[in-house]
């Protein structure tokens, strides 16, 4: 019943904001244009299409808002008016009542607001689909007087998300049954991955732990600043972190006016992404412009500042190595290696001809090398790659869906910062260096250092374990020899009995012949 009500609400919002008209109006067919006139009779759709789309996504809830956030980073795929409106979804979702936020904070932390904070700004500085943020100053303890940002979870989100996910699961099941590519694309597994990350995002303690991990990963780096977490002011509904000062990365004119090198900024964004993925296997998976600032303080000038750590991705060592080899082969235009890696990984059926896949990949990728981002139509690239994957039955890997989403965000961000950026040439040196570190002497030495403590613990046990092993082997050999000897004795006795019987029979037979001959010689026969 809940799913049905949610579906009815979705349909109502679509009709109320005229999203059906927005989609159909893009077609030039006369019949469709006539249909648009018919379905819009009696409806006032005076607001701009971008505003209507933004308001509809906001009304539908967090999942749809996140979809709009991803679309807002793809200005190459969206008309400017729609992209501008969707960009407001990054940090301008209508906030909930400040009094409600205060009640959540006091209930979660178990103290009055005045006991927790020296100052607290009741007007939220940012509001998103899952939570909103208030600036404050800490009271008490060694962190007294520190400027912080307090993130408060939006109430009533769980039922909405659960109902949307239930609808998505039903739709995924239906797609698998009726669509020829359903099983290959694994929509149910993709929805399951999305489900996991969304529910993690509803627990702000998980987000705080993610922030702490990312801060530790970049503690020695001059590429990325991550806010400090104040654990005594954190619960599953409240997340208190260091207040960061910077310019939103979407304000390119302000960054240029402040003297920020936009080309360097775009290159460092690519390096940050690949560092997170391949060095750490732990990456920020929600890197839209609303979650990124650029520092203009003298000590950290030009550095990225990461915010909102609710969605992060993790990769296994196998996935990291496989992806790195694919990227490097791709950057070197070694399409045979790309095809071979797909076959070896099991992403395509084993009977696939490597040469055919190589040719298809070459046709997809070769036209886009040595071109800046502004000359690349990602829509065309994705369409051709989809056609190729369908032809060769390439299986979608659900564990990489977040990575693909993040890569789209990074590429869209790079396009905004520096349209002349060559994504491939920027990423290639980093990946080659990383692969050398993994497979060279440096990588071997690092793995030895990691394993050395465990080896040191095991080393004193080696003599005892070796003695026990040899003793068991000797015992097993002795027991085995005894069994073989017993079997040999049994077989020898059996052979002796058979030989004795045969000799007796042969002796009897010869004796009979001799007696008959003797009797015949004596004249009895």
Length of the chain: 525
Which residues 6+ apart lie within 8 Å of 449 measured at CB?
none
Q: Which residues sit in the known binding site?
A: 125-133, 151
Q: Which residues sit in the known binding site for ATP?
A: 125-133, 151
- Active-site choice (164, 195, 200, 286): 286
CA distance 22 to 35: 12
DSSP string, 325-339: HHHHHHHTT-HHHHH
**Three-state SS at 151:** strand
Does an H or E element contain 78, and which? none
CA distance 12 to 6: 10
CA distances to 99, 207, 380, 420 from 285, rounded to whole Å, are 31, 12, 24, 25
Is 232 noted as a catalytic residue in this protein? no
CA distances to 177, 358, 388, 397, 418 from 182, rounded to whole Å, are 7, 24, 16, 13, 37
CA distance 87 to 77: 14
Strand runs labelled E in 384-423: none
Pinpoint the alpha helices (H) of 346-400.
Answer: 354-365, 378-391
Is the CB of residue 291 less than 8 Å from the CB of residue 309?
no
Is the CB of residue 287 less than 8 Å from the CB of residue 250?
no
Identify any residues that bridge with 224 across adjacent strands, giving them in sequence order: 304
The gap from C-alpha 109 to its chain's centroid, in whole angstroms, comes to 32
* Full strand arrangement of the beta sheet holding 292-294: 224-225, 304-306, 292-294, 247-248
Dig out the tokens for 371 from the structure: 């071109």
CA distance 116 to 232: 10
The residues carrying an active-site annotation are: 286
């Amino acid at each position: 019943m809940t799913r049905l009500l949610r579906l009815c609400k979705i349909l109502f919002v679509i009709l109320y904001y005229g999203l059906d008209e927005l989609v159909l109006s893009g077609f030039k067919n006369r019949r469709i244009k006539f249909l648009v006139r018919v379905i819009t009779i009696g409806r006032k759709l005076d607001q701009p299409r971008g505003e209507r789309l933004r308001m509809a996504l906001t009304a539908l809830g967090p999942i749809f808002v996140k979809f709009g956030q991803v679309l807002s980073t793809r200005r190459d795929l969206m008309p400017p008016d729609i992209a501008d409106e969707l960009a407001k979804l990054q940090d301008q979702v209508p906030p909930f009542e400040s009094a409600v936020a205060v009640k959540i904070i006091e209930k979660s932390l178990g103290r009055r607001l005045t006991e927790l904070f020296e100052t607290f700004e009741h007007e939220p500085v940012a509001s998103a689909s899952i939570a909103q943020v208030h600036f404050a100053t800490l009271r008490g303890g060694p962190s007294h007087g520190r400027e912080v940002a307090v993130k408060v979870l939006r109430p009533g989100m769980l039922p909405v998300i659960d109902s949307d996910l239930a609808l998505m699961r039903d739709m995924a099941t239906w797609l698998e049954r009726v669509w020829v590519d359903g099983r290959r694309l694994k929509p149910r597994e993709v929805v399951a991955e999305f489900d996991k990350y969304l529910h993690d995002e509803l627990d702000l303690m998980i987000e705080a732990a993610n922030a702490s991990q990312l801060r530790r990963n970049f503690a020695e780096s001059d590429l990325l600043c991550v806010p400090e977490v104040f654990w005594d002011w954190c619960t599953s509904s409240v997340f208190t972190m260091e207040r960061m000062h910077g310019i939103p990365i979407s304000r390119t004119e302000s960054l240029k006016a402040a003297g920020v090198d936009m080309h360097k900024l775009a290159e460092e964004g690519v390096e940050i992404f690949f560092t997170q993925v391949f060095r750490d296997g732990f990456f920020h998976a929600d890197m839209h412009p609303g979650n990124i600032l650029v520092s203009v303080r003298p000590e950290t000038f030009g550095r990225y500042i990461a915010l909102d750590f609710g969605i992060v991705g993790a990769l296994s060592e196998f996935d990291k190595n496989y992806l790195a080899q694919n990227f490097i082969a791709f950057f070197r235009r070694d399409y045979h290696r790309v095809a071979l890696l797909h076959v070896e990984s099991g992403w395509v059926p084993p009977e696939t001809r490597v040469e055919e896949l190589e040719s298809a990949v070459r046709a997809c990728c070769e036209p886009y090398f040595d071109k800046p981002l502004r000359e690349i139509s990602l829509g065309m690239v994705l369409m051709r790659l989809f056609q190729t994957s369908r032809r060769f039955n390439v299986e979608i890997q659900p564990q990489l869906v977040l990575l693909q989403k993040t890569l789209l965000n990074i590429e869209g961000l790079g396009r905004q910062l520096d349209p002349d950026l060559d994504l491939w040439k920027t990423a290639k040196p980093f990946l080659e260096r990383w692969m050398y570190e993994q497979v060279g002497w440096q990588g071997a030495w690092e793995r030895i250092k990691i394993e050395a403590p465990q080896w040191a613990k095991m080393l004193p046990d080696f003599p005892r374990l070796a003695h026990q092993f040899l003793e068991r082997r000797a015992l097993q050999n002795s027991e085995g020899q005894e069994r073989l000897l017993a079997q040999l004795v049994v077989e020898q006795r059996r052979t002796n009995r058979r030989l004795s019987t045969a000799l007796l029979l042969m002796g009897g037979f010869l004796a009979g012949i001799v007696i008959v001959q003797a009797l015949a010689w004596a004249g009895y026969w």
